[in-house]
A and B are shown apart, each in its own frame.
Chain A
Amino acid sequence: MPALSPQAPPDRLTQHPSSPQDSATCDRHYKTLDTTLKRNHYQPDALIEVLHKAQESFGYLEDEVLLYIARQLKQPLSRVYGVASFYHLFSLKPSGIHNCVVCLGTACYVKGARQILDRLELELAIKVGETTSDGQISLLSARCLGACGLAPAAVFDGEVGGKLTAEDALARLQALTIND
């Protein structure tokens, strides 16, 4: 990782070889991040909110972004990394273009959500938490979406699908990739 001064301009950060985005997009993302940091007065207790915003902009929390946040909040990187790795919703690796979150809450489980997930794993040839090799679909699971009345439920790119069968779920996934 390159040595950075606290005020390192965003474009310097993006020149790291692992950076997946072009520098213009990246600049915009850092700007969004800066707005959030400013709104929270660079207070360390805003860390979780800042991480949410960073993930929303960049798609995931790469090392450079974590380092940038640590320096802006004047916190040790260990603390920022510790928080980012503690919470399930923060992702430290890139995710697919589309995502499918299968709810594994008790109500969904009782109604066969595990079988749906098994089938999706089989068809996509990935395990839950992984992304297909073409980078198209990330398969995730949730503890409970609070949509228990619709069990078994899953979220396809932010849209909830309820009372699903494995076939329904596969059809929804196909629809996602076709619409591109």
Chain B
Amino acid sequence: MGGYEPLYHALYELSSAAVIEEITKSGLRGRGGGGYPTGLKWATVAKMPGKQKYVICNADEGDPGAFMDRSVLESDPHRVLEGMAIAGYAIGANHGFIYVRAEYPLAIQRLTKAIQQAKKYGLLGSQIFESGFDFKIDIRIGAGAFVCGEETALIHSIEGGRGNPRPRPPYPAEVGLWGCPTLINNVETYANITPIIRKGAEWYSSIGTAGSKGTKVFALTGKVQHTGLVEVPMGTTLRQIVEEMGGGVAEGRVKAVQTGGPSGGCIPAVFFDTPVDYESLQQLGTMMGSGGMIVMDDATSMVEIAQFYMDFCRGESCGKCVPCRAGTVQLHEMLTKIVNHQATETDIEQMEALCQMVKEMSLCGLGQSAPNPVLSTLRYFKEEYLARLRPEVETFATAKD
């Protein structure tokens, strides 16, 4: 309904500054995980000098257990294109890129078709709606590297290189694609733009909590009865999501929910009455992430989950910085030792210390957040780690006797 009307409205009735003002007032925050205020990001790129700027849509949805972006790209690609075009108008860019992971062939196919359709009807390309605004969008396809979800790595990948991140600052808002100021937002963020422009910032900010506005889509998976996507207002409690919408677990009880993918952590069932927003999840030692929610029951071992995520980070580390490249390998070995009942309490202490080091010294978000699943399971499920320690030395002594 009313597709591309918000773009028309923006082009003819709003100035670039007014669009940014509207997005800022709406309180929309980045849906890719970080939660950075979208309006502020747009304003920063808009202020940058230089004629050439770029808009990038990060559709490299790599968090295992998350498929919100895939659903938007496959079912309503025009909404994302329109959001990008509005962003281009607001910041003064006329070229956009969508970076889609190659694992989503249907999404790529539908995006390609949507871009063709939009071009045909003059909704993308030169002189959109016969205004003076030109905007074209190209698709770039990933090749299976999780680290490319990190913005500087993603830029390198669009440029056709290895997806290695680089230190920030300078942020892409200043030095981005081919050295030009670049705006990078997630698929879901762009999908939120058109409703804001159509219905107004006031309407949007009436939904959600004080610090987190609007709705959020979660991918509810794991040991839950009804798996699938749920879109809820920010501030909905985990209990409502997991037990009412997800129908709880089939048998036994829910033990924890994992959010934020390999960068996030596990929330034990005792905290299920917490309203979900950016801050409350951070206080619980996890993060919103892109929106994957994996429900675990008593049969799931938290130590093994931590080991699983560390294996993931170890494999996906790009290898550029030592704390991440070597640290994740060491952490994985330590976790394997614990899983195999060969560790002592000293090993756990050492592992915690190494976690802190990797967290503080890694170059990019992948390494900085890789220890999170370990730290969060240690925080809430330490007894599971202790139960896996090496049997007491006395036992060996008795066995020898």
Contact = CB atoms under 8 A, between A and B. Distances in A.
Contacts of B172: none
Interface SS, A side: helix
A146 B294 contact: no
Contacts of A143: 62, 64, 144, 146, 312, 316
- Interface size classification for chain A: 20 to 34
Given A89-B102, A106-B258, A151 B221 contact: yes
Closest 4 CB pairs of A and B: A105-B64, A87-B143, A144-B64, A88-B144
11 contacts: A46-B160, A49-B141, A52-B102, A86-B163, A87-B163, A89-B144, A105-B64, A106-B64, A106-B305, A110-B300, A144-B103
B227 A149 contact: yes
- Interface size classification for chain B: 35 or more
A151 B157 contact: no
B312 A110 contact: no
Interface string B221-234: 11100011000000
B145 A148 contact: no
Interface of B: 61-67, 70, 102-104, 140-146, 157-163, 219, 221-223, 227-228, 258, 261, 292, 294, 296, 300, 305, 308-309, 312, 316, 318
Contacts of B158: 45
Contacts of B102: 52, 89
Given A44-B160, A148-B67, A149-B221, A107 B294 contact: yes
Contact of A110 (B66, B145, B160, B296): B296
Contact of B143 (A45, A52, A104, A109): A52
B308 A145 contact: no
Given A90-B143, A107-B64, A146 B159 contact: no
Interface of A: 43-49, 51-52, 79, 82-83, 86-90, 104-107, 109-111, 142-149, 151
Given A79-B161, A87-B163, A146-B61, A106 B222 contact: yes
Nearest to B318: A86
Given A106-B64, A107-B65, A111-B223, 8 more contacts: A48-B142, A87-B143, A106-B261, A107-B222, A110-B222, A147-B67, A149-B227, A151-B221
Contact of B145 (A49, A88, A106): A88
A148 B143 contact: no
